[in-house]
């Protein structure tokens, strides 16, 4: 008699887990892309604002600690601050998201290789978020999506595939 009750409980649990997995799988990419865009933008924006708050210290860090090859500390500091204060705005707006993600991914690579290689657990998190945005785009809740719908409809893929949404027929 306990076998049917156990089997019934297992079926209920299995069906419940299946419903949860289907519900999670149905969450639109656009809703998942928003926190990715905001999270990675916040990291770089805060870094840029810190540089602006004390420019002398920022340049000194590039001279004494960061040692970015081929660039003077002043040029490296200006480039870093410029990227950190523009790319996050683009990500939040969902404007030129893929190029902004690519630039920040490049910056993350430079930071990992030349500045703080021991911070790879943090950098891999940034890289993961940026790779998703680079590969899947900003989602429908973005200026990119609106621009694509207006100007890019004639191109292959259309706005849905271009911004991470998969059409179902």
Closest CA to 163 of 93, 97, 77, 76: 97
pLDDT the model gives residue 110 = 95
Distance CA 103, CA 82 (A): 11
Distance CA 135, CA 141 (A): 16
pLDDT the model gives residue 150 = 86
Closest CA to 141 of 33, 48, 41, 52: 33
Cα angle 110, 111, 116; round to 5: 135
pLDDT the model gives residue 67 = 86
Q: How far is CA 16 from CA 11, 12, 19, 20, 23, in A?
A: 8, 6, 5, 6, 11
The torsion defined by the Cα of 79, 83, 85 and 88, in degrees rounded to 10, comes to -170
Distance CA 5, CA 9 (A): 6
Local confidence pLDDT in tens for the 169 residues of the chain:
455 557 999 999 999 999 999 999 999 999 999 999 999 999 999 999 999 999 999 999 999 999 888 999 999 999 999 999 999 999 999 999 999 999 999 999 999 999 999 999 999 999 999 999 999 999 999 999 999 998 876 555 555 555 555 544 4
pLDDT the model gives residue 164 = 57
3-state helix, strand, coil in the chain (%, to 5): 80, 0, 20
pLDDT the model gives residue 151 = 86
Answer positive or negative: Cα dihedral of 151, 40, 134, 104: positive
What's the DSSP call for residue 96? S
């Amino acid at each position: 008699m306990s076998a049917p009750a156990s089997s019934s409980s297992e079926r209920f649990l299995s069906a419940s887990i299946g419903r949860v997995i289907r519900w999670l799988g149905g969450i639109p990419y656009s809703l998942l892309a928003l926190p990715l865009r905001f999270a990675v933008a916040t990291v770089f924006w805060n870094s840029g604002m810190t540089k602006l708050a004390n420019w002398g210290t920022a340049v000194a860090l590039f001279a004494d600690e960061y040692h970015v090859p081929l660039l003077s500390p002043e040029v490296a500091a200006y480039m870093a601050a410029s990227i950190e204060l523009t790319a996050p705005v683009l990500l939040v707006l969902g404007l030129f998201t893929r190029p902004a993600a690519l630039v920040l991914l490049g910056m993350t690579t430079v930071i990992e290789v030349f500045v703080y290689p021991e911070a790879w657990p943090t950098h891999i998190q940034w890289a993961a978020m940026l790779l998703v945005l680079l590969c899947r785009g900003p989602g429908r809740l973005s200026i990119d999506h609106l621009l694509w719908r207006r100007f890019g409809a004639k191109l292959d893929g259309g706005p849905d595939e271009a911004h991470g949404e998969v059409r179902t027929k």
